[in-house]
Amino acid sequence: MNNASLRKRLFVWIAAATVVISAISTAASFTLTFEDANELQDAQLVQLTNTLASQSSITPATHFQPKDSEDAETHLAVHVLGTRPLEDDPHIDLLIPESLSSGLHTIDQRGVRWRVMVSTSAGGQRFGVAQRQTVRDEIAEGSALLTLVPIVVLVPLLLLIVHRLLRQGFSRTVQLSAEVDQVDADHLSPLDPSGVPSEALPLVVAVNRLLARLGSVLEQQRRMVADAAHELRTPVAVVRVQADNLGNADLGEDARARLNILQGGLGRISRLIEKLLDLARVQGSTLLQDEVFPFDAEVRRAVEETLPLALQRGIDLGVSRLDPAEASGQPAHAFAVARNAIDNAVRYTPDGGTVDVCLELRGAQILLTVDDSGPGVPADKRERVFEPFFRVLGSQQPGTGLGLAIVRSAAQALRGRVALEARPDGREGTRFAYSQPAAARSAER
């Protein structure tokens, strides 16, 4: 799969095109300016010659003696045809042949190239004004190079602007993918199309339609579970009542023992139905309005409700700390988290064991931990026990396999995190840890 960044690709292509085009335009502009400069110099040469021609007599090399001057304009020499200049100056060391016709010429003499304008003076004297070609070229090059300055300065600036614009244009797309990443099964909120460029808008709309379809499928699944559990209630109630009625009949000891097993099984089925309904309820209630509520009150209630089971099993269920802590969300979800976590801890702890509940407000985080003295959960199973109906092999406990699945769903609804860990004090057992942000009001206290 080739997932090269569109932004990077666009930038590379725009930069390459800019560089190539500006290189061509630089070359063209250099050549044209160079030629223009040569033509201008020719015109100057012609003008100067015409001026000299109006004189009756020409004095060779008397004008524009260049000696020390670096000014290119002065590198001109006036020669009477067929004569050498008087001074021995390499700059004007030139013999213009008499055969040369009037007009502009380029002549090579002893390795030096000259540009010469030949004319006849008013006194009938034939003369030429000469300039070294290298000097002319230097001047032309100088002015041609000057025309390149704006291009050389502006191209990097242009590339910088393009880079900026591209990054800005794609930043909303990057932000959108972050938003898509945050969508989870419990909060299928559609993406916000504001600020999205019109080219990307169809994709956003399509993703939102997909989210809506996904939502309705999930909703159907939830309703299916809830409906199935509801439909099971009446027939199970019938069987339960009839089994209880059987207990009132005149039964032998053997039959009564078997009936007890039957009733135990029916009790477990009833509990399973209740848990299925709890799960459907927790998953389906995300549309309700959030409220700020005391988290500690829900933990207290969860301890109260689990206490009968703990007492029956001789388990020391206690609270080591209970900070007042306010959370935002639905109280029923907080109760579901605490109730099922504590219930689970009590169920998987052998008779006579200990279960410690701790609710701590640490900064802006609410931390709920439940430590048990049970056999512990192997590290590689600690994630999977949150899946519905997953149970650690070998555990004989009559759980429904739904308690921790309910916890996870409720935690997601509260935007909290759950995990099973080894006990931090190194003792045998499991720590259940739940954390979620405290409501702003609580964090201020």
DSSP string, 137-186: HHHHHHHHHHHHHHHHHHHHHHHHHHHHHHHHHHHHHHHHHHHHHH-BTT
**Closest distance of CB 309 from another protein, Å:** 10
Q: Do residues 334 and 293 lie in contact, with contact meaning Cβ atoms separated by under 8 Å?
A: yes
Query: Is 311 a residue that touches another protein (CB under 8 A)?
Result: yes
Q: Which region among 178-186, 207-215, 226-234, 417-425 touches another protein (by CB under 8 A)?
A: 226-234
Residue 113: other Cβ atoms inside 10 A: 13
What stretch of H or E contains 51? helix 6-53
CA dist 12 and 359 (Å) reads 56
Query: Is 304 a residue that touches another protein (CB under 8 A)?
Result: yes
Query: Is 423 a residue that touches another protein (CB under 8 A)?
Result: no
Query: Is 124 a residue that touches another protein (CB under 8 A)?
Result: no
Query: Is 357 a residue that touches another protein (CB under 8 A)?
Result: yes
Query: Is 265 a residue that touches another protein (CB under 8 A)?
Result: no
**What distance lies between CA 88 and its chain's CA centroid?**
76
Which of 95, 319 has the CB closer to another protein? 319
| Cβ-count burial 135-162 (b if 16+ within 10 Å, e if not) | bbbebbeeebeeebeeeeeebeeeeeee
Which of 10, 246 has the CB closer to another protein? 246
Query: Is 318 a residue that touches another protein (CB under 8 A)?
Result: yes
Q: Which region among 12-20, 103-111, 146-154, 231-239 touches another protein (by CB under 8 A)?
A: 231-239
Residue choice 300, 384, 415, 423 for contact with another protein (CB under 8 A) = 300
Report phi then psi at 414, rounded to 5: -90, 0
Residue choice 24, 154, 237, 379 for contact with another protein (CB under 8 A) = 237
Residue choice 248, 250, 254, 393 for contact with another protein (CB under 8 A) = 248
Q: Do residues 345 and 302 lie in contact, with contact meaning Cβ atoms separated by under 8 Å?
A: no
Query: Is 402 a residue that touches another protein (CB under 8 A)?
Result: no
Query: Is 262 a residue that touches another protein (CB under 8 A)?
Result: no
Q: Which region among 61-69, 310-318, 409-417, 431-439 touches another protein (by CB under 8 A)?
A: 310-318
Query: Is 273 a residue that touches another protein (CB under 8 A)?
Result: yes
Residue choice 16, 238, 251, 255 for contact with another protein (CB under 8 A) = 238
What stretch of H or E contains 113? strand 112-120
Query: Is 79 a residue that touches another protein (CB under 8 A)?
Result: no
Residue choice 159, 205, 218, 322 for contact with another protein (CB under 8 A) = 322
Instruction: Name the strands in the sheet holding 126-132, side by side, starting at the edge strand that comes first in the sequence.
Output: 76-80, 126-132, 112-120, 103-109
CA dist 221 and 218 (Å) reads 5
Give the tokens for residue 353. 């064991």
Residue choice 266, 276, 327, 337 for contact with another protein (CB under 8 A) = 266
Q: Which region among 63-71, 115-123, 241-249, 402-410 touches another protein (by CB under 8 A)?
A: 241-249
The position carrying tokens 């109906």 is 389
Give the tokens for residue 408. 């996870």
Which of 158, 269 has the CB closer to another protein? 269
CA dist 419 and 337 (Å) reads 12
The position carrying tokens 């909290």 is 416
CA dist 15 and 160 (Å) reads 10
Query: Is 270 a residue that touches another protein (CB under 8 A)?
Result: yes
Residue choice 83, 120, 171, 312 for contact with another protein (CB under 8 A) = 312
**Closest distance of CB 167 from another protein, Å:** 52
Per CB under 8 A, residues contacting another protein are: 230-231, 233-242, 244-245, 248, 266-267, 269-270, 273, 281, 300, 303-305, 307-308, 311-312, 316-322, 357
